[in-house]
Amino acid sequence: MELGLTSSIIIGSVPAVIVGSLLSSRSNGYLLRRVITGVVLLSGLKYVGVPTDWLGIIGALEIVLITFLTYRHWKRMRDAPSSASVPETVQGVVTLLPTGLDGDLELEEAPLGELTARGDADVLE
């Protein structure tokens, strides 16, 4: 065991693992998957013997591609209408309420373990 090599690995890897775990828990999963894919691709290319100069060029192209894809994804998500829109008026809320409920709601266990609301007139799903 070489003490110098072992200590260099520990000094370099422990802070990287801590910073990486903090960033990955707060970052966008879309971007993180692309970055990991790029790193794995570069590692695989180095493993099969691609020269370092080419790895630098491929890495730069990956950065451009990941930036473009992430920007496009962000723009789509920003421009897309929200599926969880909230009605702004009382009438919008009233139209969302189920019809045909004459009594109190009782919760019953469905066959698959899901709870369903059952009124006097019909069953809500």
> What pLDDT does 95 receive?
58
> What pLDDT does 92 receive?
56
> What pLDDT does 89 receive?
60
Does residue 107 come out as left (phi exceeding 0), alpha (psi in the -120 to 50 range) or beta? beta
* Type of residue numbered 111: P
Cβ 116 vs Cβ 125: under 8 Å: yes
Residues 83, 36: Cα–Cα separation, whole Å: 30
The pLDDT averaged over each successive group of 10 residues in the chain (125 residues) is 86 87 79 88 94 94 92 85 57 57 54 50 47
Cβ 64 vs Cβ 21: under 8 Å: no
> What pLDDT does 29 receive?
79
Residues 97, 115: Cα–Cα separation, whole Å: 18
This model's pTM is above 0.75:
no
* SS3 state at 100: coil
Alpha helices in the chain (DSSP H): 3-26, 29-47, 52-79, 90-96
The CA-to-CA distance between both ends of the chain, in Å, stands at 65
> What pLDDT does 48 receive?
95
